[in-house]
Amino acid sequence: MNVTVIYDSYYGSTKAMAAEVAAGASSVAGAAVRCLSVDEASRDDLEWADGIALGCPTHMGSIAWQMKRFIDEEFAALWQSHVLVGKAGTVFTTGGAGGAGGTELTQIALLSNLAQHGMILVTHPHNMPGFRPDGMAWGATWATGRGDRPPTQRQIDSARSQGQRLAEVAGKLMA
């Protein structure tokens, strides 16, 4: 099964997080994985995928505009074709302070786009490795400051476990 991880990154933290999500997905047998920034990815990477993970920082209390532009341009172009309906999707975020105002709204904005496309949403279960203390139920989140805090092992685990879970669910849904 194919998994595409798409991220927008400002200080580099979300890029690092995306790499861990991709590594988790790659650990599933039979998974082919693409990990791309919003500047590299296109609608072709969305069509190719059986599972899609979206990640970005929280800016001013909601989704970073660069990710939203990607959604409004590339995702939107596929809306009428219904090609994403029934595929698996999941989301992850970074923010200056873990869980501070806006983090949850950013995750819900990302999920809203996946819902608009009729996708199946893979959440972040609280019994997954590394869930605490940075886990949110909608998706993993890293409190990253200004990119000057390297991720902890628990943060790495939370991102990897979510990527693995996405690939597993995508595999089941396409079977």
The values of phi and psi at residue 126, to 5°, are -75, -5
- In the complex, the smallest distance separating the C-beta of residue 121 from a copy of itself, rounded to whole angstroms, is 4
Residue holding tokens 């400051």?
145
Query: Shortest approach of a copy of itself to residue 175 CB, angstroms?
Result: 7
User: Counting contacts by CB under 8 A, is residue 154 touching a copy of itself?
Assistant: no
- Residue at 114: amino acid letter: L
DSSP 43: H
Quick one: which segment of 1-9, 28-36, 127-135, 153-161 binds a copy of itself (CB under 8 A)? 127-135
Coil, strand or helix at 127: coil
Q: What is the DSSP string of 15-28?
A: HHHHHHHHHHHHTS
Whether the bond between 151 and the residue before it is cis, its omega within 30 degrees of 0, is no
H/E run at residue 95:
strand 88-95
Q: Is 75 in the site for a copy of itself (CB under 8 A)?
A: yes
Q: How far is the CB of 102 from a copy of itself (least distance, A)?
A: 6
Q: Under the criterion CB under 8 A, does residue 115 sit at the interface with a copy of itself?
A: yes
Per DSSP, 124 falls in state -
When binding is defined by CB under 8 A, the residue of 136, 156, 159, 167 that contacts a copy of itself is: 136
**How many residues in the shown chain lie near a copy of itself by CB under 8 A?**
55
Which window, 21-29, 43-51, 120-128, 148-156, contacts a copy of itself (CB under 8 A)?
120-128
Query: Is residue 18 within the footprint of a copy of itself (CB under 8 A)?
Result: no
Distances (CA, A) of 150 to 35, 55, 133, 143: 20, 17, 15, 10
Nearer Cβ to a copy of itself (5/138): 138
Residues making contact with a copy of itself (CB under 8 A): 59-65, 68-69, 71-72, 75-76, 79, 82, 85-86, 97-105, 108-109, 112-128, 132-133, 135-138, 169, 172-173, 175
